[in-house]
Structure 1
Amino acid sequence: MSITMKVVDCAQGRPVDGVAARLQARSEGVWERPATGRTDASGCLRFWRPPPPAVRGVFRIVVDIDSYYASFGILPVFPQISTCFRVVNPDEPLHFMVLVTPYSHTIVHGTDQKG
């Protein structure tokens, strides 16, 4: 199972470098923290290198956007952005594009990392 994401600041038109994110798995109603990391200069983060054993289940990605915007002196409306998703086919790579501004966000799901 490969889970990746890319964070793009739509207000500034560039990838978000160095933002912290975590991937959590839900187990018996409790969120566990299996992976954390920071985006690279291209805004990308691969949560697992190498991939863990394939697992079906419910997962959540949480992105700390507060510290990113604080570096510009901006207080964003959403300090954290999260999305919850289900893995049905653990052999299928998952990619999430997270588009942010200080006042909004959109998360797009895909199966390939395209830029």
Structure 2
Amino acid sequence: MSLSTHVLNAATGRPADGVSVRLEAADGTLLAQGTTDADGRIKDLPAPEPGVHRLIFDTGDLSPFYPEVTIAFTVTDPAQHYHVPLLLSPFSFSTYRGS
């Protein structure tokens, strides 16, 4: 299993470079942290065990309304790749299960 993320700044239509991201277990234990690259990606997050996890994006530099965005997701099959992207605009955000 592997885990990756991607942040796209919808206001500019460009990848969001330099966004700090934390991976936490359901109990709040910090599992990893990183910063998005020039393409808005973090490709090498450690594979979490099955269960609920959170990606917490520090978005204060991109949004005047959302200082951070938290995406909770469930790992059910440790053999699969999980890609959890974030599409962010100043006053809204969305996510989906990527490939």
TM-score of the pair, normalised by structure 2:
0.91
Residues 65-93 of structure 1, C-alpha deviation per residue, up to 9 Å, x if partnerless? 00x33xxxxx6211100111111101100
User: Which of the two has greater helix per residue?
Assistant: 1
Match of 1:63 in 2: 57
Give matches, 1:12-27, under 5 Å: 12-26=12-26
In 1, the alpha carbon distance for the partners of 2:67 and 2:44 equals 21
The residue identity in structure 1 corresponding to 2:54 is R
Instruction: Identify unmatched segments of 5+ residues in structure 2.
Output: none
In 1, the alpha carbon distance for the partners of 2:4 and 2:35 equals 11
In 1, the alpha carbon distance for the partners of 2:23 and 2:44 equals 7
Q: Does the residue aligned with 2:37 lie in a helix, a strand or coil?
A: coil
Counting matched residue pairs gives 99
C-alpha deviation, 1:109, in angstroms? 1.2
Residues 52-111 of structure 1, C-alpha deviation per residue, up to 9 Å, x if partnerless? 5x6211100100000x33xxxxx621110011111110110000121001111101112x
Q: Does the residue aligned with 2:11 lie in a helix, a strand or coil?
A: coil
The residue identity in structure 2 corresponding to 1:16 is A
Match of 1:44 in 2: 41
Show structure 1 runs of 4+ deviating over 6 A: none
TM-score of the pair, normalised by structure 1:
0.79
Give the greater-gyration-radius structure (CA). 1
Instruction: Identify unmatched segments of 5+ residues in structure 1.
Output: 70-74
Match of 1:98 in 2: 86
Q: Does the residue aligned with 2:12 lie in a helix, a strand or coil?
A: coil
Cα RMSD of the aligned pairs, angstroms, is: 1.5
Q: Kindly, what percent of the aligned residue pairs are identical?
A: 34
